[in-house]
Structures are given as structure tokens and as C-alpha cells.
Amino acid sequence: MANKGKVYLVGAGPGDIGLLTVKGMRCLKKADVVVYDFHLNAQVLNYIKGEAEFIYAGKRGGRHTMTQDEINRTLLREAKAGKTVCRLKGGDPFVFGRGGEEAEALAEEGIEFEVVPGVSSSVAAPAYAGIPLTHRKYSSSFAVVPGYEDITKENSSIDWQKLATGVGTLVILMAVKNIEALTGKLIQYGRPPETPVAVIRWGTRAEQRTLVSTLSEVAAAMKEKEIRPPAVIVIGEVVKLRDKLAWFEKKPLFGHRILVTREHTEGFEELEDLGAEVMEFPTLEIRPPESWAELDQAIEGIDSYDWLIFTSGTGVRYFFRRLRELGKDIRSLKGLKICAIGTKTASAVEKLYLKVDMVPGEFRAEGLIKAFSEAGGLKGLKFLLPRAGEAREIFPEKVRELGGLIDTPVAYRAVLPEAKGKRLKRFLKEGRITIAAFTSGATFTNFVRIMDEPPAEIFKGIAIAAIGPVTAGRIEKEGLKVEIMPASSTTLALSGAIRDWVLANTTPTL
């Protein structure tokens, strides 16, 4: 009998990726199959291993991609095939997430499963709006109920009469369409019409908007402001604390969603700390070279070089990995000077307990030429530059022109990933991206290819940030304007330039 797999029912939280639990992240990273919902931060999916299968089971605007029975059958089928399955659900799987039904189906078939709780929007959205659900002076109890049920039917599963006065704070989910009937019923059953109410749309996300009203007036206010799902509704005296405790919407970069076209958002943490949402969408996938022959030959003759030049941390990683695979180590570099382009590249070298002899002030080919010229020239020197395939030829050509020798073996390749751009394309068209940041010309070129639309249409109303003049030049060739560019071509400098630009310019349009 084939080994059965295992299913993890994982709550992904309400939207802010920082609210995904550590255990939830671990389950994602080891999954063979991920069955996921609509109301998720798209960035979560970037943590899933590349070979995992994605199965979309979401619902948007009442339209089901898969019925609950179909979802249950999918989980059973994949687990019985011996796979590790992550059922990724927004919020918490057991809070109106139908996770209980899925767990029952698995238990009945003898499939091993675990439940990984998530942060429910019922507590997260109010917290991000500055509203505590309980407070010693205002409320010592709260209830969370769904609001999609027709409350006019005789056999309602919710006792609204008891809820109206029986709890201090009432949190209602999925109630936008029924808000007028719900508030009318609560007033009918004794809840004062002047009771404060907060409606929080897209809680914890860059689009978060909070409407404060009263029980008798909130339905009309929501209609006037055209509030649509998803929204969390909080009813109770604790709403009064929002004026004092609101924190998320006061962050200086709140409302900005910044697109970063690279793996991992290291270097952009400050933007998140200041309230922006950083949306990661890698447009380059790093792979080994098609052949190691050139690099192997260079490593075998490593003692013939005067300088070893690294242009990225990736180059450092792949070069030293191959060095080890050939049975060598850092002792083979004795007498060789090392140049690193950029402080982060230098840091990657120094972590190997190697000294970096030169870090040019300008982090591109022109800066390299200047640095070596000021250090005594290039004539008679021999350089080894392990690099990406299809890299710029400006530096190698100039070295040869000035009398030096240089070998440029391919240490790694940056290829176009099999990216899923459907959701991002929708975000762009709906104006839910305010800034797009590019760290190389290749990330921009690949992004345009993935989106498969004219650049002018893709970036309409979006500020473009480029890490340096070479990247900016590639973007401007498409007739686009680069609004943001740091003086120094590093990720940290780019992050700082984005921060300064936002603070100096208009408010976001999300």
C-alpha cells in the first residue's frame, strides 16, 4: 500500500505577510501541493518551493472556483498520492474558514493532518484600526459572528436578540450586503442607535480604510462611501478609542504598495517599518551555467591572476561553491587581490574570512575603470571576473583597451522564471501598486515580458524606481520616466530614495 501523505490546514492571516506564523511558513516551504484561497497576500506564495504544484480554490465576489466538496476531494486525492499538502486559507482555518469541514473529510479517510492557526481578520483588522476588542473601561466581552445570513428567515442560526445586548463588542464578518437589516435588527432588540460602529475594509493591507459612524447611520454612510467587501464591522463603545489608538494608518508610508522585482525583500525592511507594503515579484531565476568548463579552467589556473572581481553576492556564492566542488578552498586564492562591487558584495566575501582590497565608489563598470586607473592602471594586470551570462561588456573591453588581460567565465545564469502574473496584472490595472522598483535592466525587461502588455499601459500612474543609471537607461528606452534613483547603486540606497521620494511627494492613490 502506498504511503499516505499529510495535509496541513494553515491560516495565512488577514493580509499583512508579517502576521503569517513561523510554523505556517515552515509548512509552506515543504509542501508538494498548495491549495490556496483568494484573500491572501500574493507575496506569501513566493515562499513556496519552486517545484510545488499550485491549485487555486478561491472565491471572489461570490464566484466559486471550486465547491467545498471539490476542495475536500482534492485534498484527499493529493494526500493519498503520498504528497505533503498545504491547504492555505486566509485568516484562521477554523474561524468561518470551513477548515472544520475539511478536517472532518480527512479524518474520515484516515489522512494525517495538522491545523496551523492563523490570525483572524476579526481581531487583526480592529487592532490595525486602533480598536481593542476588550478594554477594562468599555467592554469585557466580545462575539464574532457572520453577517451573510438572511436574518429575516424564521430559523436563523444566530440569536440576534441575545447578541444585541448580551456582549460588549460585536464583530461581524461578511456583512456589507446585509448591513442595513443587521443594524435595524440590533436596534430593534435594544442596542442603542448611537452605539459607535467602525467598518474596516481590507484590514492590515495597504488599502485599509476605516469608516466610523453609529449604529443608526452606518448603513447610509457605507452606501455613500461605496464600501464593498471585504470588511470587518465592529460595534461597541471600544470604537471610541480609535481616535487615540490609531497607529497603522498614521505611518508615513501607509497606503503605498511597492513592487520589488527580485527575490527576497532584504534591504527594503525600512519601507515596511514605515507602513508600506512591499510586494515581491521575482523576474529573475538564478541557475547554474549550462557548462562549468570556462569557470573550471579559470579556477585551475587561479594563481595566474592578479585580481578576482565580484559584482554580486550571487557571483560570490556560485564561485566559491564551484571552488569547493573542484576540491579547492580559500587557500587557493593566496596572493590574489579581491575587488567587490558594492558593500553587500564585499560583505558576502568578508563572511568567508577574506579581505576585500577594493570597493569602487561607483558601483558599475565605469566606476571600476576609474578605481583601477587611480590605483596605478590596468596595463599588465590579469583579472578574473566570474559573472552572470549576458553581462555588460564595457569593463572587459576597457581592460583590454588599456593593456590588461581579463577572463569572464559564466558562474551563473539569470533566466525568466515561470512567474504567475495574473494577480499582479490585476493589481496594476486596479491602481493598487504605487511604486515599481527595479534592481537591474534584466528585471525590468523580464517584468514587461511576463506582463505581456505595452510598458506605457503597465506603468500608468505608477512611479518607477531604478537602482542606478544603467537600469534607468534600459527603462527610459521604452519611453518611460524614472522618478526615483539613488546616488549610490545599492538596495539600501534605493530603499532610502523611495522613502525620501514618498515623503516629499503626494499621498498614495490606493
Q: What is the CATH number of the domain that holds 42?
A: 3.40.1010.10
Once rounded to an integer, what is the mean pLDDT over residues 111-133?
A: 97
Instruction: Write the pLDDT tens digit of every residue in 366-386.
Output: 777 888 888 777 888 999 999
Q: Is residue 47 part of a domain?
A: yes
Dihedral-angle region of residue 58 (phi above 0 means left; psi in -120 to 50 means alpha; beta otherwise)? beta
3-class SS letters over 331-396: HHHCCCEEEECCHHHHHHHHCCCCCCCECCCCCCHHHHHHHHHHCCCCCCCEEECCEECCCCCHHH
Q: What is the mean pLDDT of the chain?
A: 90
On whether both 17 and 62 belong to a single domain, the answer is: yes
Domain that holds residue 171: 123-250
On whether both 411 and 441 belong to a single domain, the answer is: no
Taking 50 as the threshold, does the pLDDT of residue 1 lie above it? no
On whether both 363 and 425 belong to a single domain, the answer is: no
Task: Tell me whether residue 155 is exposed, middle or buried, using C-beta atoms within 10 angstroms of its C-beta: 0 to 12, 13 to 18, 19 or more.
Answer: exposed
| Contact of 206 with 257, CB cutoff 8 Å | yes
Find which of 8-22, 36-50, 256-270 is predicted with most confidence, using mean pLDDT. Answer: 8-22
Once rounded to an integer, what is the mean pLDDT over residues 452-467?
A: 93
Q: Is residue 173 part of a domain?
A: yes
In the chain, the percentage of residues whose pLDDT exceeds 70 is 94
| 210 contact partners, CB below 8 Å, separation of at least 6 | 129, 198, 199, 200, 201, 242, 246, 249
On whether both 368 and 388 belong to a single domain, the answer is: yes
8 DSSP 8-state letter: E
On whether both 295 and 399 belong to a single domain, the answer is: yes
On whether both 191 and 268 belong to a single domain, the answer is: no
Q: What local confidence, expressed as pLDDT, does residue 363 receive?
A: 60
On whether both 24 and 140 belong to a single domain, the answer is: no
| Contact of 366 with 469, CB cutoff 8 Å | no
- The continuous run of DSSP H or E covering 13 comes out as none
| 452 contact partners, CB below 8 Å, separation of at least 6 | none
Find which of 95-99, 236-240, 424-428, 487-491 is predicted with most confidence, using mean pLDDT. Answer: 236-240
pTM of the model as a whole: 0.81
Q: Is residue 372 part of a domain?
A: yes
Q: Is residue 510 part of a domain?
A: no
On whether both 430 and 313 belong to a single domain, the answer is: no
On whether both 136 and 223 belong to a single domain, the answer is: yes
Supply 120's cell numbers.
Answer: 483572524
| Contact of 131 with 140, CB cutoff 8 Å | no
Q: What local confidence, expressed as pLDDT, does residue 89 receive?
A: 92
Confidence of residue 78 (pLDDT cuts 50, 70, 90): very high
Taking 90 as the threshold, does the pLDDT of residue 410 lie above it? yes
| Of the candidate ranges 5-9, 153-157, 159-163, 503-507, the one whose mean pLDDT is the lowest | 153-157
Once rounded to an integer, what is the mean pLDDT over residues 121-143?
A: 97
Q: Is residue 31 part of a domain?
A: yes
Q: What local confidence, expressed as pLDDT, does residue 40 receive?
A: 77
Q: What local confidence, expressed as pLDDT, does residue 264 receive?
A: 62
Q: What local confidence, expressed as pLDDT, does residue 64 receive?
A: 60
Q: How far is CA 509 from CA 430, 431, 444, in A?
A: 11, 7, 23
Confidence of residue 394 (pLDDT cuts 50, 70, 90): confident
On whether both 280 and 421 belong to a single domain, the answer is: yes
Nearest to 145 by CA among 174, 177, 187, 184: 174
Of 119, 137, 170, which residue sits at a domain end?
A: 119
Once rounded to an integer, what is the mean pLDDT over residues 478-497?
A: 93
Taking 80 as the threshold, does the pLDDT of residue 418 lie above it? no
Catalytic positions are: 37, 59, 174
* Number of domains within the chain: 4
3-class SS letters over 454-499: CHHHHCCCCEEEECCHHHHHHHHCCCCCCCECCCCCCHHHHHHHHH
Q: Is 435 helix (H, G, I), strand (E, B) or coil?
A: strand
506 DSSP 8-state letter: P
Instruction: Write the pLDDT tens digit of every residue in 166-223.
Output: 999 999 999 999 999 999 999 999 999 999 999 999 999 999 999 999 999 999 999 9
d(CA 33, CA 130): 37
d(CA 28, CA 12): 10
Q: What local confidence, expressed as pLDDT, does residue 125 receive?
A: 97
Which CATH number does the domain housing residue 359 bear? 3.40.50.10090
Once rounded to an integer, what is the mean pLDDT over residues 328-352?
A: 92
d(CA 452, CA 444): 12
Nearest to 447 by CA among 414, 421, 413, 481: 421
Instruction: Write the pLDDT tens digit of every residue in 31-63.
Output: 999 998 877 776 787 777 767 888 988 765 555
Of 100, 119, 138, which residue sits at a domain end?
A: 119
Neighbouring C-beta atoms of residue 384, cutoff 10 Å = 24
d(CA 470, CA 375): 24
Of 386, 415, 444, which residue sits at a domain end?
A: 415
Block residue for cell numbers 472544520:
100
Q: Is residue 509 part of a domain?
A: no
| Contact of 186 with 219, CB cutoff 8 Å | no
Which CATH number does the domain housing residue 189 bear? 3.30.950.10
Q: Is residue 13 part of a domain?
A: yes
On whether both 154 and 244 belong to a single domain, the answer is: yes
On whether both 158 and 192 belong to a single domain, the answer is: yes
Q: Is residue 396 part of a domain?
A: yes
| 270 contact partners, CB below 8 Å, separation of at least 6 | 495, 496, 499
Who has greater pLDDT, 265 or 280? 280
Once rounded to an integer, what is the mean pLDDT over residues 484-507?
A: 90
